[in-house]
Chains A and B, each alone.
Chain A
Amino acid sequence: MLRRDFFKQAALIAGSAAVGSTTADADTTTHPVDNRKVADIAFPQKRPLITYSDRPPLLETPREVFTNPITPNDLFFVRWHMPMIPTYINPHYFSIKIDGEVEKPVKITVDSLKHDFEPVEITSVLQCGGNGRSAFHPTPGGIQWGSGAMGCAKWKGVRLNDVLAKAGLKKNASWIKFHGLEKPVYTKTDGFVRALELEKLHDKIIIAYEMNGEALPYLNGFPVRLILPGFYSDSWVKMLSNITVTDTKPKLHFMDHAYRVPDNECECETSDNLVPKTKPIEEMNVNSLIGYPTSGIQVKQGAKLIIRGVAFDGGHGIAKVEISTDGGTSWQEATLDDGTQGSYAYRSFRHTLMPKQAGTLSIMTRATNTKGETQPFAEDVKWNHGGYKYNGIDEVTVEVVS
């Protein structure tokens, strides 16, 4: 279908919904808000980033960083849920407490993680489930992120399975709760606690103490955090301090109400008819982002323009990235990097253009994974009440000057 037809269809749907509906506007999706300015204050161990809040810190990475298959630590996005975050941790005393349905409760220090377990490394994308949420209308609950609530780093740590084996799981163990050191101000507010079903554990889930060859920055979870390659970052608990094994599914606000999508094929619903049955967001959708050029810049007519960006999915691997300069009618394949970072990491791409005509030039990217899953046009992404899992085709617009 041509893009023009999409607009036509969207207009039809918008028209029909307005008639019998109580909401003033029909549900629509656009591109996420782009080009927000970075703040003039830098947070500790960070360069200035797009800053939505200082308490708790919410920092977004600007688009131009996404030319790089690794996101530098000082440019990596930051997202906490609770405002009370320790600003000092002595790594020699810090420990992770493991208790609940285990043979012997243990406390494991960072030193012990580094010396008593086999170290493992994995390069993986860390992306907020709400990345791109500002694309959804009407506005879903949550932080209205642009496209930069994501990054890709090389994580080093130990297997969660190895750590659990140290405590020994009892036969009735079925869920594992994770708790970090962030705390609400008001004691009645539920803390940020997450849980994983035992049967979903695998050997790529690690407790990391290093990010891109350095200790984790404080704001990214120093001294240790959970890494779940392929999954959105809602369970990548930072400053991980407690692991509690339970025999039944624990009741938790941040599991039962947040980070869930409709439990249907399209994972979609409408604002005036919410789907009651929901499921966790879990595996990441295939996605890609243009790092260069950024919207609004000027480029020279007839000169080489090298488009660069990154693509990723939930771990199946990227098969191709395509570029369109005619609004999505025709597509050309971009060149991918050698893929040595592995299938959970960013795959960087590049594509050379020679803009022939002066004026406005639109550039779109679309990634396809090895399962054949691909990105929809931004306006075809279906709405959900939490604004999760956005993966619309990216678009930047530049000015070609003669």
Chain B
Amino acid sequence: MRKWILIAVITAALITLLDAEENKAEIQKGIKMPYMAFPMKKGEGMYSTKGKCNMCHSWGYILNQGAQSKAFWRKKVIKMIDIFQAPIKNEDINEVVEYLYKNYGNGKEN
């Protein structure tokens, strides 16, 4: 009986040691970030929006907002340009807003 307990204790100690080693190894090797797909809904303006909105962050940022009004999406695109310097030309704003609203809209203008 005592022998089994001893073996169990040693095994547990070894596992903890291995865990610690693994943690250290992972830090020394660095990490590999996974890619996650946040698929965009297909529709007019998708490709142009993809180029403009996936540059600085994943599409997950947009999905996380939930269905929103047209004014909301317009304000968001303008925030990206004004605050974060997104390189989106004035004449391209409408296309992006239309795509966002058509595919991630809540049916309300405001």
B-binding residues in A (CB < 8 A)? 22-24, 39, 41-45, 51-58, 83, 86-91, 138-139, 141, 143-144, 184-186, 188-190, 214-215, 218-219, 222-223, 253, 257
The size bracket of the interface on B is 35 or more
CB–CB B65/A87 < 8 A:
no
Between-chain CB contacts (< 8 Å), 27 pairs: A24-B108, A44-B26, A44-B31, A44-B34, A45-B31, A51-B36, A52-B63, A53-B36, A53-B60, A54-B33, A54-B35, A54-B60, A58-B64, A83-B56, A83-B57, A88-B31, A138-B72, A143-B61, A144-B66, A185-B56, A186-B55, A186-B56, A189-B84, A214-B23, A215-B23, A215-B24, A218-B30
CB–CB A257/B33 < 8 A:
no
CB–CB B60/A41 < 8 A:
no
CB–CB B85/A189 < 8 A:
yes
A-binding residues in B (CB < 8 A)? 23-24, 26-36, 38, 55-58, 60-61, 63-66, 68-69, 72, 79, 83-87, 108, 110
Measured between alpha carbons, how far is A383 from B27 in the docked complex, in Å? 42
Measured between alpha carbons, how far is A10 from B26 in the docked complex, in Å? 52
Interface centre among A53, A184, A186 (most CB of B within 10 A): A53
Residue of B nearest to A143 (CB): B64
Beyond contacts A89-B27, A189-B56: 17 other A-B pairs, Cβ-Cβ < 8 A, are A22-B110, A23-B110, A44-B33, A45-B26, A45-B31, A83-B56, A88-B30, A143-B61, A144-B66, A186-B55, A186-B56, A186-B85, A186-B86, A215-B24, A218-B30, A219-B31, A257-B83
Measured between alpha carbons, how far is A388 from B110 in the docked complex, in Å? 23
Residues in A neighbouring B31, C-beta threshold 8 A: 44-45, 87-88, 218-219
Residue of B nearest to A253 (CB): B83
Residues in B neighbouring A24, C-beta threshold 8 A: 69, 108, 110
CB–CB B27/A141 < 8 A:
no
Residues in B neighbouring A23, C-beta threshold 8 A: 110
CB–CB A186/B64 < 8 A:
no
Residues in B neighbouring A39, C-beta threshold 8 A: 36
Residue of B nearest to A73 (CB): B23
Measured between alpha carbons, how far is A42 from B28 in the docked complex, in Å? 20
CB–CB A52/B108 < 8 A:
no
CB–CB A52/B23 < 8 A:
no
Residue of A nearest to B55 (CB): A185
